Amino acid sequence: MAEPKSITIPAAVDLHVHFREPSTNKAETIDSGSKAAALGGYGLVCDMPNNPGNPTWTMEKLTAKQAIIKKSSYIPIATYTGSQPESDNLAELPKMAAKSIGLKLYGAATTGNFVDYDPAAFDKIVAAWHKAASAKPIMLHSGKDNLAEFISLITGRHSHPLHICHVNSAADVKLVEQARETGAKISCGVCPHHIFKSESDVRTQGWFARMQPPLVDEDSAAELFKLFATGEIDVLETDHAPHLTVDKWAAELENPDAIHDPNHRTCFGVPGIEFALPLLFYQMSRGRINLDRIIDATSKKPAKIIGVKLSPTTKVTWRLEKYRVGDKYPKGLSGSGWTPYMNNLAVGIVEKSVVGGKTLIENGKLIARLSQVANSGSVV
Ligand SMILES: [Zn+2]
């Protein structure tokens, strides 16, 4: 058989990961998550603030997380500030804004929170953030029916740049487009699981396929992929949110019907950063998306949204070998030890990676770390 071809492309940038450290979730660490990211072709990721049991709502927590990044990360990581109506941290926002890449808001029922919020409850937070960092985006996890109101609050009332995380419906993409047409600075992203898995997986895999927002039916997933491939959805964001299989199992055994209230165990989220690009390259090999669009969606656009510059030398060489994920990586590549993509076909193994002028991967092996905290204005 002929040697598979290689391609060298800009390192990928992920706007949305949960590397879980420091927190009560032991499925991932900065070390293991950034290793999975590097092996997945990423050169920069942005870590979300809702660490279980330890949200990044104060300067002290933010500094503690960044200290771990500076010690143990394989690739540069930027961090988000968190603020919720109940977090009572308005006074902390100016200090945290200077050290963060953006602000994450949870407007939805998700882990540890059981109702969708009234967007008006975030008015003071948005005003304070805008005053502190008018160019640093707000990343929104919207609720089921409050997206339009959030868009109007953030991009209308406060004229602040907004990124809608993990859209899972064409209707949400439409709302983003409409806002863009009125001049709003707005973007949106889709996750690998919302285009490569579907709610039929929940029927057969239970909690191993549950996440927030939930998977959608097969037709909607195909529609989302199309919106992504044509560029109506701006970026791919992995929402890499690992859990150990014992914790997925506990939720499955105790709460198989997935009742979402404080009396029932829940365990939303899946790992995904390590195979995000190989899953896309497989689609590329089938003619469903082109390479320019993949580079745009996984590197150029996300870097632009957070105001980071990618150096022309920050590049990843992929060997375009085709494989079934479960055959090649039965335990995945993340610290959680499993992957929801066991049966998926994939193309691409990272041969070489150079980030920030440093060779991190050579001949497929991680050989160095670049343990840096990135911020807007950084050159990576
Ligand atoms: Zn998330």
Cα–Cα distances in angstroms (integers) from residue 259 to residues 57, 206, 222, 244, 251, in the given order: 28, 12, 28, 20, 10
Query: Does residue 98 lie within any of the structural domains?
Result: yes
Query: Does residue 140 lie within any of the structural domains?
Result: yes
> Do the beta carbons of residue 22 and residue 319 sit within 8 Å?
no
Q: Where does residue 307 rank: exposed (0-12), middle (13-18), buried (19+ CB within 10 A)? A: middle
Gap from CA of 128 to ligand 1 centroid (Å): 23
- Which of 10-24, 108-122, 350-364 bottoms out in mean pLDDT, i.e. has the lowest? 108-122
- For the segment 202-210, the average pLDDT, to the nearest whole number, is 97
Taking the CA atoms of residue 321, residue 326, residue 329 and residue 333 in that order, the dihedral angle to the nearest 10 degrees is 110
Helix, strand, coil % (nearest 5) of the chain? 35, 20, 45
Output the pLDDT for position 262. Answer: 86
Q: How does the average pLDDT of the chain come out, rounded?
A: 96
Output the pLDDT for position 163. Answer: 98
Q: What is the pTM of this model?
A: 0.96
- pLDDT higher than threshold 90 for residue 299: yes
Domain that holds residue 121: 6-366
User: pLDDT tens digits for 219-238?
Assistant: 999 999 999 999 999 999 99
Gap from CA of 159 to ligand 1 centroid (Å): 24
Query: Does residue 339 lie within any of the structural domains?
Result: yes
Cis peptide before 271 (omega within 30 of 0): no
Query: Does residue 171 lie within any of the structural domains?
Result: yes
Residue with tokens 């494989």: 323
Residue 103 belongs to domain with CATH number: 3.20.20.140
- pLDDT higher than threshold 90 for residue 291: yes
Gap from CA of 6 to ligand 1 centroid (Å): 32
Output the pLDDT for position 335. Answer: 97
User: pLDDT tens digits for 85-143?
Assistant: 999 999 999 999 999 999 999 998 766 667 789 999 999 999 999 999 999 999 999 98
Which chain residues have CB less than 5 Å from ligand 1, an ion? Answer: 239
> Do the beta carbons of residue 209 and residue 245 sit within 8 Å?
no
> Do the beta carbons of residue 355 and residue 370 sit within 8 Å?
yes
- pLDDT higher than threshold 70 for residue 198: yes
Gap from CA of 91 to ligand 1 centroid (Å): 25
Gap from CA of 140 to ligand 1 centroid (Å): 10
Output the pLDDT for position 111. Answer: 61
User: pLDDT tens digits for 54-83?
Assistant: 999 999 999 999 999 999 999 999 999 999
Query: Does residue 213 lie within any of the structural domains?
Result: yes
d(CA 231, CA 240): 22
Gap from CA of 14 to ligand 1 centroid (Å): 12
Cis peptide before 262 (omega within 30 of 0): no
Output the pLDDT for position 221. Answer: 98
Gap from CA of 272 to ligand 1 centroid (Å): 12
Query: Does residue 184 lie within any of the structural domains?
Result: yes
d(CA 269, CA 33): 14
3-class DSSP assignment, residue 84: coil
Cα–Cα distances in angstroms (integers) from residue 235 to residues 238, 260, 291, 305, in the given order: 10, 29, 14, 10
Query: Does residue 1 lie within any of the structural domains?
Result: no
Number of domains in the chain: 1
Query: Does residue 371 lie within any of the structural domains?
Result: no
Q: How far apart, in Å, do the first and last CA atoms of the chain sit?
A: 37
- pLDDT higher than threshold 80 for residue 4: no
> Do the beta carbons of residue 273 and residue 8 sit within 8 Å?
no
